[in-house]
A and B are shown apart, each in its own frame.
Chain A
């Protein structure tokens, strides 16, 4: 049988940048040449928009990057993070794997080459490159295995919070990585955390009779134990060992001895120029063949030893359809006949660098800069007796030393504000180590490791610096003017592209935007979808509460999205742009449009252009599909909240753009706005948002900052106000008008659940922006909206009371304790909303009770921010009601908390007030408490 021709060699760098859909790249390697990595790999990943990049490497080799090559490295900790994996007992972290992750595509590269110039581009290495796509998910289980392998490594040896965040982001953007499916028949991923490779091979090939075994390796263990074990395990008739003369490392005597015992034949690799670093084992049976390729050499540490004593390795085992399937690998590369004289091979003795002291007195675990603070985590193992004080050394030029307060054994952390080092950090990577502090603050070397500082501030800033796809389309939206069909086309393309690209799981069908969502498989559930979805949501949110970093991940992912970059541009361009607009002359007679125009606007520069009918249809369809998605429960439960919020404001503006360009008339505008608001806030007659599966995630106070940032409330109110204004003037039925009015009440109540509407109405900067977008006179428009709000308060209060009841019912009916607790917790938003509305309505008699209830709920659930805000109100209300003891107690609590936070002056004022009131009501216990804390404060203030 003729061997198959060898495929073209794989260019690893090209394989890395073949596709642009990757968000995350994770590399596992024994050693890394970070200068090469930055110049060749990082560069390509960045060009393709992949910014979430982590490298795991052996700790000893990590030290080389600091000791030998530090000055050739520029971006470590600033554009990617490297994690040293520190194994005990002389073990090596030895895998060579690259995993590229995107929402719709994954690429897994497993081979023998380290992340160095020679490993990726000079040596003779072998690699496998595997792809997963949502269309061809056959290799799902391999990716899931690789992902689990990486997670295990991070869990056991990773100390970088930044890498943990990266991994969390990756799984958020590509939840498919976690889906477990059955393994494919012809390929298996093996790694040593599961047990010795040779043991796994034995299990996998248990039913096979191996005739021939071929081993290619650059390293053999000193007594050739691994090759012997392979023989004993599989008993092949032939055992071929391929070694490169002058380069391979091994003990000739051990091989000679072994050759006397087993049918070992040694061949010479004939390609002399490039170093043979590939590691291959092929198994030939009667009818099939297998090939193992990856990181393990034919050594005891790589193949034979259990996880706690051996290396960490990863490899792929492939099944070939014929017994000669893998002959192509060595075709024309080895001598025709085996070598008789082993001296011809001139095997090398191993040349290993000296081991770094693993058991040093102290170990730096992580060093991360966040908000210009350097956070150092370290573990003190056992300090020499003469060392009493420790200090960190930041190896900038010159080095910066900071004493450490904690030197007790165990894990410790310290924080330093970066001043001069921070400026340096902007230009070059820094590293940190810890040593003892001798006389005159001299440095005493304790054999501590050194770590590159992760500059989370800069990493985050770089993530935000994502390429914008279309500045032109952003400009159109910022100006509110689309001047040609081409611009309309570009805007459409951008919206469709950005929205589809940024949404995990959102599918493209036939190149058009669709709201069809492919959801990750849910656990088995009964037929009544809505209730079950609700419960799932509650569980999810309960988890969210427990792990607030999930929200941070969502924020971080959104920050680095291209959509956000585009949005920032749109927002940044807003100011001053609209004043340059032109109105097409044919619009002049339309009263409604005139009414919406800003008075006294200067002469414009660009002319609005109504697009061709095809484009008009596409845009209207796009808006309708978007509105449809707001009513799609699965979609609303899968899309990130930040996308829900930002799309809402973008589509508000798109609808206005369509109206201004006469693509839709005012009736259509009003209808679309009503539908969109009904989708986003719920229809006027729907249940409370908390009880509505498609609404419970985004109408929550926890997103208050984002609502403010993206001006969700303002846009909702502004567009509804315009819509209502026209509906009221139109000839639609009274019922329709009433429904619209109720929709406005629902909207207002929804906003009240998230934020204080009074504060929203007072945000003059945001209103100025919104008024410009809608071409309204700012003052007039705000007054109009303020009046509308004022008139709607009492209806909003009624609605809110009804919602409260509904939530109560749901809470009582909840069988799952998680859901019940979640509902109770979230009800705080409803109490607060009611409190704020009543305050607006001036209903002082119920305010104290409401405020007190909300305050205790906030304290109960640890929502400190809300509690602090309510305390001030509570003091005023209680004082007005003559409840002086409560006032004094609250003031005392405030003072004590401020004292704990070292805000002594503020604390002093509060406690003085508390003391005065306590004395007036003669509460001796409280007097004593106040005096005790005051004495402490006086001590500090003195």
Chain B
């Protein structure tokens, strides 16, 4: 090699390598929560976490019909919505200042428009200048558009990209018109579409009629109730894979919530709702025993919540693993297992939870004997394993109960080995026993167990989890083997697959650890938690519809109104008539 010779390479090399990702944000880093989202979409197709107020259904229906009839020339739908929704929000804000029974929770644009209102509340003419109160192109309607299609209020037009307002939507629009038709705003609405200001008293008058909290007393109440409960939908709980609309499930789920209101003697929170759907079918769960016709709905919701506990547990293991990695520096999976084996005393944890187990180290404690011990402490009579699991699944009042374990974990710190691995492992074990107990003996074409299979291997379905646990038992695995398998396949591999998926889709680096040469290195923490049930939104909507009340002396315990009792009866009757 000599410098006198000729050069064949012309490029400047070597070169530094480029970073192959950009964004570093994201959520659901184990990619497990999409399954729950599908179940809630199936069981509550007309409500999402961003559609909290029932009155928007008639309001947006009215806007769509109005736009179809007449709108300022050249205005796209979005601009039209932005203008009318701005006035609607201002009217709501104006009115609620004068009325104690009106609340603006869930009012689209309430942040910016609230500020705007505060600034101009003293003037006679309120400027209509806050068209950017929300970034969505079609204003608040964008959040409701999907569920309005789900509720058969609108649908995409067949020949172009426009929308058809279906008879239900037209009825809602008409009813909303009736509610506001004798206001000055209604009469001059076309003028206000392009006006720079609107008089405050016009807003006040309009607000009294259109307020989100006044649905129950307005003309649009009944059509909204019928739309949300979908009394006319022919099918309830149709097969998920069939193309039949799932609209009929609205009345089952909303009816189930009304049924809970009817029985509860404590405030019905999201956590209480989760407990009720998990144990509603247990013989010993006194807080809620669903009406027979609602039991199929509870069975579907139970699968949702069991998956929630399962995902919560996996996220807890994940959070702990990251937390441990952060504290320990570069480590191998074997190191982690050694740590668990040395540090985790399951018997001690069980004692703290109020049960007595004969302790052994994780590597000498067989999974088989561990699960048997759990069944024993739950006082499940002796018998074969399947029978015992079936008995276990019918009980809620057991020392080691999913919901109680969840609360224990939730109260602990992420670096708490006992809670985040020990109790989590107990939670997963209990889940396994319950799932084994409710698993149908033969493959049914369509049953709530479908949700256990939903998500397949990629989303670590419950069925895969139970199958793999069973194989671990058959393979004489120790608790350490089982934990290693869970951490390796259901946490580390799952995160790797998910992070690579997000990287491919969005060029985002969401890895929470580096892995090279068999060594893990911490990058970021993560936390566990539940995904949304949509219960809170349903709860608010049922209130908007006036189906229950919370008497001031009840301590927050809801009571069905007459309308609520009547609606519940209608639900049960219609379920009785359904196919």
Q: Hey, which bits of chain A sit against chain B, CB under 8 A?
A: 4, 6-13, 30-31, 33, 35-36, 39-40, 43, 60-61, 64, 67-72, 111, 113-114, 116-130, 138-139, 184-188, 204-205, 207, 274, 278, 280, 285, 287-288, 290-291, 293, 316-319, 321, 328-329, 351-354, 397-399
The answer to whether B12 touches A328 (Cβ under 8 A) is yes
Known: A39-B500, A130-B9. A321 touches B3 (CB 8 A): yes
The answer to whether B504 touches A40 (Cβ under 8 A) is yes
User: Looking at the complex, which one of A121, A129, A186, A353 makes contact with B5 (CB distance below 8 Å)?
Assistant: A186
User: Looking at the complex, which one of B15, B329, B474, B496 makes contact with A7 (CB distance below 8 Å)?
Assistant: B15
Tell whether B333 is near chain A: CB-to-CB under 8 Å: yes
Known: A12-B17, A72-B497, A125-B16. A398 touches B474 (CB 8 A): yes
The answer to whether A318 touches B9 (Cβ under 8 A) is yes
User: Looking at the complex, which one of B18, B503, B516, B518 makes contact with A11 (CB distance below 8 Å)?
Assistant: B18
Q: How far is the CB of B438 from chain A (nearest CB, A)?
A: 22
- The residue of chain B having its C-beta at the shortest distance from the C-beta of A73 within the complex is B493
The answer to whether B11 touches A7 (Cβ under 8 A) is yes
The answer to whether B516 touches A114 (Cβ under 8 A) is yes
Q: How far is the CB of B432 from chain A (nearest CB, A)?
A: 15
The answer to whether B500 touches A35 (Cβ under 8 A) is yes
| Measured CA separation A802–B488 after assembly (Å) | 73
Q: Hey, which bits of chain B sit against chain A, CB under 8 A?
A: 1-3, 5-9, 11-21, 329-330, 332-334, 467-468, 471, 474-475, 488-490, 492-494, 496-497, 500-501, 503-504, 509, 511, 514-519
Q: How far is the CB of A697 from chain B (nearest CB, A)?
A: 37
**Subset of 13 A-B contacts with CB under 8 Å:** A7-B13, A8-B18, A11-B20, A61-B518, A67-B334, A68-B332, A70-B489, A71-B493, A130-B13, A139-B8, A185-B2, A287-B3, A316-B14
Taking CB atoms, residues of chain A closer than 8 Å to B474 are: 398
| Measured CA separation A398–B475 after assembly (Å) | 8
Q: Which of A40, A117, A328, A329 lies at the interface centre, i.e. has the most chain B CB atoms within 10 A of its CB?
A: A117
Q: Which of A188, A318, A321 lies at the interface centre, i.e. has the most chain B CB atoms within 10 A of its CB?
A: A318
Q: How far is the CB of B474 from chain A (nearest CB, A)?
A: 6
The answer to whether B16 touches A6 (Cβ under 8 A) is yes
Closest 7 CB pairs of A and B: A185-B5, A121-B20, A71-B493, A9-B18, A71-B489, A72-B493, A138-B8
Known: A111-B14, A117-B511. A31 touches B467 (CB 8 A): no
Known: A31-B517, A121-B21, A124-B17. A69 touches B471 (CB 8 A): no
Q: How far is the CB of B36 from chain A (nearest CB, A)?
A: 21
The answer to whether A184 touches B8 (Cβ under 8 A) is yes
Known: A9-B18, A186-B5, A274-B19. A318 touches B503 (CB 8 A): no
Taking CB atoms, residues of chain B closer than 8 Å to A68 are: 332-333, 488, 492, 515, 518
Taking CB atoms, residues of chain A closer than 8 Å to B12 are: 4, 6-7, 328
The answer to whether B493 touches A185 (Cβ under 8 A) is no
The answer to whether B18 touches A10 (Cβ under 8 A) is yes
Taking CB atoms, residues of chain A closer than 8 Å to B515 are: 33, 68-69, 116
User: Looking at the complex, which one of A113, A316, A319, A321 makes contact with B17 (CB distance below 8 Å)?
Assistant: A113
The answer to whether B500 touches A353 (Cβ under 8 A) is no
- Number of A-B residue pairs having CB atoms within 8 Å of each other in the complex: 191
Q: How far is the CB of B544 from chain A (nearest CB, A)?
A: 46
| Measured CA separation A150–B2 after assembly (Å) | 27
The answer to whether A69 touches B3 (Cβ under 8 A) is no
Taking CB atoms, residues of chain A closer than 8 Å to B503 are: 39-40, 117
- The residue of chain B having its C-beta at the shortest distance from the C-beta of A11 within the complex is B18
The answer to whether A125 touches B516 (Cβ under 8 A) is no
Q: How far is the CB of B221 from chain A (nearest CB, A)?
A: 52
16 additional contacts, CB 8 Å, given A186-B1, A353-B518? Answer: A13-B20, A31-B518, A43-B504, A69-B496, A72-B493, A118-B514, A118-B516, A138-B8, A186-B9, A207-B2, A287-B3, A318-B13, A319-B1, A319-B2, A319-B3, A321-B7
| Measured CA separation A268–B19 after assembly (Å) | 21
Taking CB atoms, residues of chain B closer than 8 Å to A70 are: 488-489, 493
| Measured CA separation A65–B518 after assembly (Å) | 8
The answer to whether A121 touches B19 (Cβ under 8 A) is yes
The answer to whether A204 touches B333 (Cβ under 8 A) is no
- The residue of chain B having its C-beta at the shortest distance from the C-beta of A183 within the complex is B1
The answer to whether A128 touches B8 (Cβ under 8 A) is no
- The residue of chain A having its C-beta at the shortest distance from the C-beta of B467 within the complex is A397
Taking CB atoms, residues of chain A closer than 8 Å to B13 are: 7, 128-130, 318
Taking CB atoms, residues of chain B closer than 8 Å to A187 are: 8-9
Q: How far is the CB of A161 from chain B (nearest CB, A)?
A: 28
Q: How far is the CB of A562 from chain B (nearest CB, A)?
A: 26
Taking CB atoms, residues of chain B closer than 8 Å to A124 are: 16-17
| Measured CA separation A71–B497 after assembly (Å) | 9
Taking CB atoms, residues of chain B closer than 8 Å to A11 are: 17-18, 20
Taking CB atoms, residues of chain A closer than 8 Å to B500 are: 35-36, 39-40, 72, 117
| Measured CA separation A8–B489 after assembly (Å) | 39
The answer to whether B488 touches A126 (Cβ under 8 A) is no
The answer to whether B475 touches A67 (Cβ under 8 A) is no
The answer to whether B8 touches A185 (Cβ under 8 A) is yes
Q: How far is the CB of B112 from chain A (nearest CB, A)?
A: 37
